Structure 1
Amino acid sequence: MSRKSSLIELKPGNGKIEIRSDNISNDNGKVVLKRKITLLNGVALIVGTIIGSGIFISPTGVYLETKSIGVSLIVWALSGVFSMFGALCYAELGTSIQRSGGDYAYIYVAFGPLPAFLRLWIAILIIRPTTQAIVALTFAQYAAKPFFPDCDTPDIAVRLLAAVCLCLLSAINCMSVRWAMRIQSVFTAAKLTALALIILAGAIHLLQGNVSNFENSFKGNYSASSIAIASYSGLFAFGGWNYLNFVTEELKDPYRNLPRAIWIAMPMVTLVYVFANVAYFAVVTEAEMLSNPAVAVTFGNRMFGIFYWAVPVFVALSTFGGVNGILFTSARLFLTGSQEGHLPEVFSYIHITRMTPVPSLIFTCITACAMLLTSNIFQLINYFSQILWLSVAASVAGMLWLRYKQPDMPRPIKVNLILPIMFLIACLFLVCLPVFLQPMYTLIGILITLSGIPFYYLCVKWENKPKSYDNVSGCITRFIQAVLNVTSADESVKLGEL
């Protein structure tokens, strides 16, 4: 049975593929990552991860580069369409290469271990910790704001609260996948409620005739390069459209539920974002937008009177759920990298009773906390975006390469060829044009990426390491096993010991 449309084709996936559908089995008492994520959980994971800090911070970042309301709204709409195209491409990747790990797994299959290791390398050093730090910092700024209504929130308080958020959610993810998903679902409902209130208040404000902010909407100071940088902020707000691919091994019926989750979640998020920005621009002036990146606070102070405190509370709830989603998927990325031998073996270990990747969760929490040494959110966004979109482009290029090299590879979901081509061109636009405006970020990103090459050959490719190295590594691994009560995913365990 199949269902076809102009954009997507669903076919039964009954062929044999080179990458294993389930990396670990639940037969014979083996420790496994179980398929517990339903369609509703998947939609909540996408929406909950996307609607995090971005919609409450990025409007200022987009407007800062364009100085135009009309162009800003176009950037937001195009960011949604672009993310939809990317999500559809990743739906094909996620079901033809049915392994957790996202970009890392796809680049590995298409181009081999070294490019995949470099993707993992930049994820560890740049992409993941930076993203988690940004969302956690946004949570902390909004959560602390009610206690400092008439002054700026102390920087040290924001950083400490962000660290507490990261540590608490990491602990919950270590305890239970089910609890992590419940948090995702509950806080997704809370954030949609908050945005609905903002959109409704903005609509009422416009219906009362307050449209002066939209005069000369397309007047501004922007260029192709500045629009590309503005898109970094817009696309940061959509970040998470590919996160369900990191947990395909835990998704029930992925052939059906992965594209369904995308079709439900992405249009919902795009409409919410565009309407929310219209509401912001209707109420907040240009000077206020540029002076205070926490635009939702300014909006709430203007529109909700004595209930102004409700906005930062709702935003804090929203970003709390966003941090949870990013931590959840980051741990799965490091687990997959370890299974391929690109990270220490202990990162592939999972708790013998809770079935959660505890070492990976602890590691991703530590690296995110390290990024809290700075609190400039827009610098962090621009710092990691160019490298991020380069890695996304590599994944989609890998998809096209696999279509050429392995045309008979089973593809339960197959998108129209024009989508990955258009998406790849747009990615190259995002990567190349900002070089002229921020060459230092480009240079830093290239150097960090290339620095992974010697580590690959020394730590991964070099097989005949000295015995002393293996002895020390083994002692550390056994100590971590004893302390965290974790074991290798491929190690048989008696059912009575589970």
Structure 2
Amino acid sequence: MKPFFHECQPPEDAARLLAVCCICVLTFVNCYDVKWATRVQDVFTYAKLVALFIIIAAGVYELAKGHTEYFTFTNTETEVTSLALSFYSGLFAYNGWNYLNFIIEELKDPVRNLPLAIGISCTLVTIVYVLTNMAFYTTLSPAEVLGSEAVAVSFAEKLFGPFAWTIPVFVALSTFGAVNGILLTSSRLFYAGACHGQMPELLIMIQTQRMTPTPAILIMALLSMLYLTVSDIFALINYVGFATWLSIGVAVLCVPWLRWKAPDMERPIKVNLIWPILYLLATIFVTAVPMIASPVETGIGILMILTAVPVYALCIMWTDKPVWFVKGTTEITMTLQRLLMVVGKNKTAQL
């Protein structure tokens, strides 16, 4: 919306409404056809790369002219707590590498292609993002970067003149593609949880005509809209970042644990234990230290994780459910099943 509001910031309500519209459009695309969703992802990924390559090219040109005055580390924060919190915003930009694991069931030859896809994507993203940040600092000072709500837009306004409007368009396309990627992959996480009986049975169901996990996609869309109620994006990044890295850290902990408890288990993909151990040490740093520096934000992150406890107790631990409860939840599931035209595995309905 920035190109339409040259002299002022876009209204927050208008931005939220636009975000809701984007989520609804992408939800429809993901519910309608998986191929549509992957094509949308490809197109908007290419658009993002085009924008980044334009920025990198401009940065290289400025660097060749000798603009390195902002490359110094003057006034850099060295406090451990500030360093740990800064990881959340930094890692947020790289978030996405873990989403590939969510769609492993839909990958062709995952034993070969999953490590290959993660290796190529992480390497490419790291190179491109480092060069992009280098480009920003050929033109913008650290104070301008910190004070900007959209660094790429500020960079374009300062360097591209009348063509500055192109970068906000590319930024919008990039975020649009990012939302599509999250809907595409995270909905499969809900689906997998339901397959193991840890989430409502409705989430295991697939649309009869389109063969897409429609209920899981709709839940993801509703949660995404719920996040729009938080106005402070950096606080939201800290909430979700803490919960995300704590959850991933616990998952990675399973690797050395299972190597110890089940050494003979078949492992199609196997890594050296040094990597999960290093990852665990890093996770401890980025989760334990912020508890001291920002207890409120990390506390909210812990509460987000703990919301799963009553769901687990209700769905899994409570095995002796009364007849009225089972009948009521079954009716709700069947009503939604008819409404969405979805079918699931042949098993007794659960909450």
* Shorter-normalised TM range: over 0.9
Residue 2 of structure 2 corresponds to which residue in structure 1?
145
> What's the TM-score once normalised by structure 1's chain length?
0.68
Q: Deviations for 1:80-119, whole angstroms, at most 9, x for unmatched residues?
A: xxxxxxxxxxxxxxxxxxxxxxxxxxxxxxxxxxxxxxxx
Counterpart of 1:195, as a letter, is: L
- SS of alignment partner, residue 206 of structure 2: strand
Q: Residue type matched to 2:24 in 1? A: C
Question: How many Å separate the matches in 1 of 2:278 and 2:74?
Answer: 26
Describe how 1:37-76 pairs up with structure 2 within 5 A.
none
- RMSD after superposition: 1.5
Name the structure 2 match of 1:436: 292
Aligned counterpart, 1:232:
88
- Superposition deviation, residue 488 in structure 1: 0.6
Deviation at 1:162, TM superposition (A): 0.5
| Counterparts of 1:190 and 1:448, CA distance in 2 | 33
Residue ranges of structure 1 left out of the alignment (5+ in a row):
1-143, 492-498
- Distance between the aligned counterparts of 1:480 and 1:404, measured in 2? 44
- Paired with 1:370 and 1:219, the residues of 2 have a C-alpha distance of 37
- The counterpart of 2:177, out of the listed 321, 330, 354, is 321
> What residue is the counterpart of 1:191 in the other structure?
48
Greater RCO (CA < 8 Å, at least 6 residues apart): 1
In structure 2, the partner of 1:256 is 112
- Structure 1 contact 350–489 (Cα < 8 Å) conserved: no
How far does residue 219 in structure 1 lie from its aligned partner after superposition? Answer: 4.1
Contact in 2 for aligned 1:194/1:311 (Cα 8 Å): yes
CA distance in 2, matches of 1:450, 1:370: 17
**Mapping of residues 115-194 of structure 1, within 5 Å:** 144-194=1-51
Counterpart-to-counterpart distance in 1, 2:76 and 2:121:
32
CA deviation after TM superposition for structure 1 residue 408, in Å:
1.2
Q: Is the CA contact (8 Å cut-off) linking 1:232 and 1:382 kept in structure 2?
A: yes
Q: In the alignment, which residue of structure 2 is the partner of 1:273?
A: 129
Distance 1:490 1:183, change over 3 A: farther
Which amino acid counterpart does residue 397 of structure 1 have in structure 2?
Answer: L
Q: Does 1:419 align with 2:299?
A: no
Residue segments in structure 2 that go unaligned for 5+ positions in a row: none
CA contact (8 A) 2:191 2:213 kept: yes
* Separation of aligned partners in 2, 1:146 and 1:381: 26
- Pairwise CA distance, 1:329: 1.3
Counterpart CA distance in 2 for 1:181 and 1:451 is 31
* Equivalent in the alignment of 1:406: 262
Cα contact 1:202–1:279 (8 A) shared by 2: yes
Q: What SS does structure 2 have at the residue aligned with 1:242?
A: helix
Please tell me the residue identity of whatever aligns with 1:301.
E
Change over 3 Å in CA distance of 1:307–1:396 after alignment to 2: same
After superposing the two structures, state which structure 1 stretch, 230-239 or 475-484, moved more: 475-484
**Distance (Å, rounded) in 1 between the aligned partners of 2:218 and 2:304:** 23
User: For 2:20 and 2:120, how far apart are their aligned partners in 1?
Assistant: 33
Q: Contact (CA 8 Å) 1:159, 1:375: kept in 2 or not?
A: no
Structure 1 Cα separation of the partners of residues 213 and 25 of structure 2: 16
Map residues 287-436 of structure 1 onto 2, 5 A cutoff: 287-436=143-292
Secondary structure at 2:55 match in 1? helix
The count of corresponding residues between Structure 1 and Structure 2 is 347
Instruction: Work out whether residues 153 and 168 of structure 2, in 8 Å CA contact, stay in contact via their aligned partners in 1.
Output: yes
Q: Specify the SS of the correspondent of 2:228.
A: helix
Cα distance, 1:448 vs. partner?
Answer: 4.2
Q: Residue 381 of structure 1 aligns to a residue in which SS?
A: helix
Match of 2:59? 202
d(CA) in 2 for partners of 1:283 and 1:362?
Answer: 42
By how many angstroms is 1:236 displaced? 0.7
Aligned to 2:338: 482
